[in-house]
Amino acid sequence: MDYDVIIIGAGPGGIFAAYELVNKRPGLRIAVFESGNELAKRRCPIDGKRIKSCINCKHCSIMSGFGGAGAFSDGKYNITNEFGGTLYEYIGKAQATELMEYVDAINLAHGGQGTKLYSTTSTAIRTMCMQNKLNLLNASVRHLGTDINRVVLNNLYEGLRSRVDFRFLTPVEHIEVLEEGYLVRTASESHTCKKCIVSVGRSGSKWMERVCHELDIETESNRVDIGVRVELPAELFAHLTDELYESKIVYRTNKFEDKVRTFCMNPRGSVVSENTNGIITVNGHSYEDPARQTNNTNFALLVSKHFSEPFKDSNGYGESIARLSNMLGGGIIVQRFGDLIRGRRSTHNRIDESFVVPTLTAEPGDLSLVLPKRIMDGIIEMIYALDKIAPGTANDDTLLYGVEVKFYNMQVRLNENLESRYPGLYIIGDGSGVTHSLSHASASGVFVARDILETCNE
């Protein structure tokens, strides 16, 4: 065997698996294959001046490379079983929480010390939400911020690089099951290993689907979350974000009894575009460093859709909505809430005259031509509900960017060790459909590393 363990993907799942393996058993031979670049070379060409929107790079620097999709993220590690994935269904709530706290301690030891841990447990905001038909979910949130998150990743990389064989810009094409172990093939080489950890994230979703098909690993469709990113003056949400940083609030609509929820709240942050398999969607992040903060807060409002029979392709549904928005806007569309309510598109003039200055250059347009009525109605209802706890949310100048789509990978059939039907072939992180967050993906990496340590001899 060339390696004891091959890890595919250097996102949080892969990094924390490698970290646990080398620290607990320094003699193990470990390789990490990664489609994207090393951290220092990850650079999105969008500069807002020469290049204003996504040019579909071969390796998207936002989604791929050391640090995975999380590298330029806001670095919000939510320590909770209430959202961010269903890891607890496999390993139990107590162990999932313990692993998320362990990951938090490692982050603190690698440059995250001094960052704030927020908690939603005992707060008057919960009561205020309940009084207005809104439900605030429980969580502790470590906010590293985009800048400190990068420092932590860099320190983790420096600690690993001499002990792990990193292969950047080397996407894995195939995995073959051997009588003992696995053969991992890239375009130009192949390597054998005793155990293989697959942690390819959302950007690897199509590849993961193909591998599951080739290896006859059962999968199930997952849900897709569709909606918009809201951007408004930071002052309007300051009473929530100063105390909680991120509030995950769920609202059940009067009209359809659909659930709409806030997601990925970025106080004084920036709206960004992201490219998943050629589809441009919107996202957001914010810096811990006050010098890099903006005057706006952004967050997503999302509605979940899950299709099962006869149509199963929830992601395909989300993709076609995103494609429609890309077709109409050439990328991301931005619309003032006031224009949406008046049934008219936003124009460059209306956006220029708006009191909220957009942090992302996007094409002014009409989101009601893109989002299905049921989803649009739910989002509008939720904006009015949020207006009761944060007056001003429903102002005309509140900006809505579309579309935001959270693609969840199909759910891969795994046992309680996150192992596929092949012993020693682990599938973790967002690529498995089990997690959808930094903390859950990282915890899944530590979990399988510990499982391997129990069974793998050098």
The site for ligand FAD (CB under 6 A) is made up of 8-14, 33-36, 62, 64-65, 68-70, 72-76, 78, 84, 171-172, 199-204, 207, 264, 272, 274, 283, 285, 429-431, 436-439, 441
Query: How far is the CA of 297 from the CAs of 225, 246, 393, in angstroms?
Result: 21, 11, 11
Centroid of chain to Cα 340: 28
The nearer residue to ligand FAD, 132 or 277, going by C-beta atoms, is: 277
The nearer residue to ligand FAD, 65 or 329, going by C-beta atoms, is: 65
* Residue environment code for 390-404, b if the CB has 16+ CB neighbours within 10 A, otherwise e: beebbbebbbbbbbb
Place of tokens 């957001």: 284
The nearer residue to ligand FAD, 333 or 428, going by C-beta atoms, is: 428
Query: How far is the CA of 132 from the CAs of 122, 287, 349, 388, in angstroms?
Result: 18, 31, 35, 7
HEC profile for 7-57?
EECCCHHHHHHHHHHHHHCCCCCEEEECCCCCHHHCCCCCCCCCCCCCCCC
The nearer residue to ligand FAD, 317 or 408, going by C-beta atoms, is: 408
The CB-of-13 to ligand FAD minimum distance in angstroms stands at 3
Instruction: Tell me how far apart the alpha carbons of residues 23 and 450 are, in angstroms, rounded to a whole number.
Output: 11
From 4, 1, 14, select the one nearest 172 (Cα to Cα).
14
Instruction: Tell me how far apart the alpha carbons of residues 72 and 86 are, in angstroms, rounded to a whole number.
Output: 24
The CB-of-345 to ligand FAD minimum distance in angstroms stands at 27
The CB-of-159 to ligand FAD minimum distance in angstroms stands at 18
The CB-of-347 to ligand FAD minimum distance in angstroms stands at 28
Which tokens is 294 given? 């903006």
The CB-of-157 to ligand FAD minimum distance in angstroms stands at 13
CA-based R_g, the chain, Å: 22
The nearer residue to ligand FAD, 264 or 389, going by C-beta atoms, is: 264
The nearer residue to ligand FAD, 64 or 395, going by C-beta atoms, is: 64
The CB-of-41 to ligand FAD minimum distance in angstroms stands at 13
The CB-of-313 to ligand FAD minimum distance in angstroms stands at 20
The CB-of-351 to ligand FAD minimum distance in angstroms stands at 23
The nearer residue to ligand FAD, 68 or 402, going by C-beta atoms, is: 68
Neighbouring C-alpha atoms within 13 Å toward the C-beta of 70: 33
Interior angle at CA 430, CA 425 and CA 432, nearest 5 = 35
The nearer residue to ligand FAD, 225 or 274, going by C-beta atoms, is: 274
Detail the DSSP E strand segments found in 178-243. Answer: 182-186, 190-198, 219-220, 224-233
